[in-house]
Structure 1
């Protein structure tokens, strides 16, 4: 686990690592496919990436989760990424694939995005991202895999609509198998409000089920964490 004194330090380290991973993937495979996270912690990373010189024409952006709102809504993950990063990149080099949200038809929305992903990774049993960027909520959810929701148990689909009772709304999310198929999985976690969740997710205790702590579903992640999110002895 990499621990940083501030969100700025974390974001700078993640930006450098992102650039390195992108260049290596493009050299080896000609493309860098990344699935993005919403939330406040990754936003600074996206702002920093907007200042970097990268072969953007060889980078493809997808979304690991989305809210059940249109893309111009303030709560849209796509809108956040667009404002922080995409709008600053050359339009003719941009390859972004946001979730085509129809708030009135969550099932069709999820099916449409899964179709896009399966076309992208045609011939593969899983989506082989080069990188999956992840955040974590203070309830230990990641992407939109919330505690005690049906998406946690989904193993056949790549992308699903997920009813979240405590929010009384649908969210959209990659399933755990579709995240774990990434070559690299990075958690970006900042803030003292994440301390208890982070300790539970990283605990070796067997009585902490993934149904209650969904971030435990993610296999062998890399951790970028601010010091205030780390439990003290």
Structure 2
């Protein structure tokens, strides 16, 4: 009961106040339990097709700008099905291919004609369809038996040709938040000197080849291309999770542009 002006206590007033307190507490807990909408540093694309078209257009625009400014365009390519379609679309564009140089950001430890080869994918989608000088194409010199020597050779190639200073680095992201072949809890994550290394990946029980964080950071432009519902959790960890790049390698990437479809954000 509450004390009134004449000193008596009123049970009805107490009931009103208790009821109000219960309602307020319910509203409070309902508010804090309500998941907050996630905000993104980009506007998601409505479809993969729209995203691929945008990447293609942006690639052509940047290529022409760089060629006009300095006479060449140095690109580090990504593997994956989404970039593959971009490469197919680029094959139909009228670009000065003799001024464009292609490198690979990562590669599988398989021969160049193997179905899992990133070089093979790019060659079928793009290189075989355009007139580009062979000296402008810089694939990883895969050595299945000795990946360390192959990585060292490619590291030297990168230092000699462009010193890792790409005009554009294209990257994807896996559902485990790996990028290039920088997989969670693998040795390459700690590399600080070399641009390119071999990297043993326990989940595949196999070696991969990959550019390092230092190489990625040296790119003037770095574009993240991320699509599909399977990437939702990884993307959320990269954007809003506690810093743990050993577990989520893509957290250390600072892209200049994001190309992400709606499915990866819902």
TM range (shorter): over 0.9
User: Any conservation in 2 of the 1:151–1:162 contact (CA below 8 Å)?
Assistant: yes
1:221 Cα offset (Å) = 3.5
Matched, 1:196 2:196: no
Which secondary structure does the structure 1 equivalent of 2:204 belong to?
Answer: coil
Q: Which moved more, 1:103-112 or 1:207-216?
A: 207-216
Matched, 1:84 2:129: no
User: Any conservation in 2 of the 1:57–1:95 contact (CA below 8 Å)?
Assistant: yes
Aligned-partner Cα distance in 2 for 1:61–1:130: 11
Q: Deviations over 1:27-85 (max 9, x none)?
A: 11110000000111211111110000101000000000000001000000000000001
Aligned-partner Cα distance in 2 for 1:92–1:176: 29
Alignment match, 1:185: 222
Alignment match, 1:213: 248
Please report the RMSD computed on the Cα atoms of aligned residues, expressed in angstroms: 1.2
Of 187, 203, 220, which residue of structure 2 is paired with 1:166?
Answer: 203
Q: Which has the higher contact order (CA 8 A, sep 6+)?
A: 1
Q: Is the radius of gyration larger for structure 1 or structure 2?
A: 2
Across the two proteins, how many residue pairs are aligned to each other? 225
Matched, 1:143 2:143: no
TM-score under structure 1 normalisation?
0.94
Aligned-partner Cα distance in 1 for 2:157–2:135: 17
Of 189, 205, 227, which residue of structure 2 is paired with 1:152?
Answer: 189
Which secondary structure does the structure 2 equivalent of 1:113 belong to?
Answer: helix
Alignment match, 1:74: 115
Alignment match, 1:227: 262
Of 63, 78, 86, which residue of structure 2 is paired with 1:22?
Answer: 63
1:2 Cα offset (Å) = 3.5
Which secondary structure does the structure 2 equivalent of 1:42 belong to?
Answer: helix
Return the structure number with greater helix share. Answer: 2
Where structure 1 has 5 or more consecutive residues not aligned to the other structure, the ranges are: none
TM-score under structure 2 normalisation?
0.82
Of 40, 63, 66, which residue of structure 1 is paired with 2:81?
Answer: 40
User: Any conservation in 2 of the 1:141–1:214 contact (CA below 8 Å)?
Assistant: yes
Which secondary structure does the structure 1 equivalent of 2:103 belong to?
Answer: strand
List, as ranges, runs of 4+ consecutive aligned residues in structure 1 with deviation greater than 3 Å.
91-94
User: Any conservation in 1 of the 2:177–2:248 contact (CA below 8 Å)?
Assistant: yes
1:208 Cα offset (Å) = 3.2
Of 72, 83, 99, which residue of structure 2 is paired with 1:31?
Answer: 72
User: Any conservation in 2 of the 1:57–1:94 contact (CA below 8 Å)?
Assistant: no
